[in-house]
Amino acid sequence: MAIYLMYGEETYLLEARIKKIKKEFGEQILGINYIQIDETNVDSLIANLETPAFGFPKKLIIAKNTGLFKKEKKSASKTSKVKEEKKKAKTQKEMPIQEKIANYLQTNQKELNETVDLIFIEQEVEKNSLYQVIEKIGEVKEFALLKLPELITNLKKICNAYKVTIDDASAKYLVECSGTNMQDLINEIRKLIEYKGEGGSITKEDIDKLCIKQIQAIIFDLTDNLGKRDIKSALEVLHGLILNKEPVQKILVTLYNHFKKLYIIKIAESYGKDVATAMNLKPNQMFLVTKYKTQARYFEKQELRDILEELVNLDTNYKTGLIDLEIGLEAILCNYCSK
């Protein structure tokens, strides 16, 4: 039996691995030699492991988002409830489904070895008894979002396959615009490859012309214009977001979080602390540190604090019906540039 546990945020690479396994497995007939398990029918997993793949040498079972590896949030009342349930289960000589499956896999490993391939797919996992058993007798693989050097390498490989080139600076710019999700980047790079054609070279200008920028990248543009006191361009960026049907409330929240990071940088630098740690960036976001630090230089610490307070007040006034969000955001931008 081949048994896998795959999890993580990089869903494109995870799904690519699943496709490869399914292709190597061969013909799949749902309900016969191909079984799908989720949270609604996870109790039937052991029964499906025990049932032969009639007419086929092997069975493929994919158990996706089963809840078997969920991280439980602890609270005083819940802890008490859990203890009570465990005591009750012990009295009834029962055990949690995770432990049942873990024990079954470990006990019947030899019998299942030639007849079943089992794949668990989860978004996040807790290292419980089932996790530990899979780690021991199978393969556990986390698909974390890739870091910048890996993303650039992958983008260049894709371009090379179509005899199109992209340099490191342009590839990095594409990541800054479109984010670190590999599926999103592949969608964008395919457009660029088709546009440039064989023998072409992808540039920053091509990316600006064709690619869809994530809201965070657009907020960077708005902040650059604001820092340079270019109110006309800052308002154009804001209006562009609104015209593209970006919810104004989302724009407000994103702006607040962005300026909060800049404010944190100012505080961290004043105390000689590590900026990346203070901002609580994920490993795949580290390449943005320099960009954040550059933008933070546009503003004084008190200016950033004032902007944050104005954004909070705008949210309050909007919720009480005192002001329109779009007008309020325009007022905050104009107020800063007029100083």
pTM over 0.95: no
Arithmetic mean of pLDDT, 150-154: 96
Half-sphere exposure of 20 (CA within 13 A, CB side): 6
Q: Strand 116-122: give its sheet, edge to edge.
A: 34-37, 59-64, 116-122, 2-7, 139-142
State the average pLDDT over residues 275-280.
90
User: What pLDDT, on a 0 to 100 scale, did the predictor assign at position 92?
Assistant: 42
Task: Answer yes or no: are the C-beta atoms of 105 and 137 closer than 8 Å.
Answer: yes
Query: Residue 264: what pLDDT?
Result: 96
pLDDT for residue 185:
95
Total structural domains within the chain: 3
Per-residue pLDDT, 184: 93
Quote the pLDDT of residue 337: 80
Task: Give a three-class secondary structure readout of the chain.
Answer: CEEEEEECCCHHHHHHHHHHHHHHHCCCCECCCEEEECCCCHHHHHHHHHCCCCCCCCEEEEEECCCCCCCCCCCHHHHHHHHHHHHHHHHCCCCCHHHHHHHHHHHCHHHHCCCEEEEEEECCCCCCHHHHHHHHHCEEEECCCCCHHHHHHHHHHHHHHCCCEECHHHHHHHHHHHCCCHHHHHHHHHHHHHHHCCCCEECHHHHHHHCCCCHHHHHHHHHHHHHCCCHHHHHHHHHHHHHCCCCHHHHHHHHHHHHHHHHHHHHHHHCCCCHHHHHCCCHHHHHHHHHHHHHHCCCCHHHHHHHHHHHHHHHHHHHCCCCCHHHHHHHHHHHHHCC
Res 91: pLDDT: 43
pLDDT of residue 114: 86
First and final CA of the chain: distance in angstroms?
Answer: 69
Quote the CA–CA distance of 295 and 286 in Å, as a whole number.
Answer: 15
Average pLDDT, the chain: 91
Residues 76 and 31 in one domain: yes
Q: Residue 36 contacts by C-beta under 8 Å, 6 or more apart in sequence? A: 30, 61, 62, 64
**Same domain flag for 10 and 105:** yes
Pick the last residue of a domain from 210, 235, 253. 210
pLDDT band for 29, please (50, 70, 90 cuts): very high
Q: What number of CA atoms fall less than 13 Å from residue 64's CA on the CB side? A: 8
Residues 282 and 171 in one domain: no
Note whether 309 and 289 are same-domain residues.
Answer: yes
Phi and psi at residue 12, to the nearest 5°? -65, -50
Report residue 205's pLDDT band, with 50, 70 and 90 as the boundaries.
very high
pLDDT reading at 139 higher than 50: yes
Residue 60 has pLDDT above 90, yes or no: yes
Whether the pLDDT of residue 313 is over 90: the answer is yes
Q: Which of 110, 142, 174 is the last residue of a domain?
A: 142
The enclosing domain of 170 has a CATH number of: 1.10.8.60
CATH number at residue 11: 3.40.50.300
Q: Which of 1-15, 66-80, 105-119, 310-324 has the lowest mean pLDDT?
A: 66-80
Examine the domain organization and report whether 105 and 231 are in the same domain: no
User: What's the pLDDT at 296?
Assistant: 95
pLDDT(261) > 80? yes
In sequence order, the β-bridge partners of residue 196 are none
Instruction: Over range 330-334, report the average pLDDT.
Output: 94
Range of lowest pLDDT (70-84, 186-200, 289-303): 70-84
Q: List pLDDT tens digits, range 283-294.
A: 888 899 999 999
Are 21 and 138 in the same domain? yes
Q: Does one domain contain both 32 and 137?
A: yes
pLDDT at 70: 83
The reported pLDDT for the residue numbered 111 is 86
% of the chain with per-residue pLDDT over 70: 92
Q: Which long-range contacts (CB under 8 A, 24 or more apart) does 204-207 make?
A: 204/169, 204/170, 204/173, 207/170, 207/173, 207/174, 207/177
pLDDT exceeds 70 at position 227: yes
Residues 133 and 184 in one domain: no
End-of-domain residue from the set 88, 113, 142: 142
Cβ-contact 63, 118 below 8 angstroms: yes
Domain at 246, CATH number: 1.20.272.10
Q: 310 and 263 share a domain?
A: yes
pLDDT above 80 (res 143): yes
So what's the pLDDT on residue 113? 84
pLDDT digits 0-9 by tens, 62-107: 999 999 998 655 544 445 555 555 555 444 456 789 999 999 999 9
Range of the domain at 304: 215-337
Whether 225 and 331 map to the same domain: the answer is: yes
Residues 184 and 239 occupy one common structural domain: no
Identify whether residues 203 and 223 lie together within a single domain: no
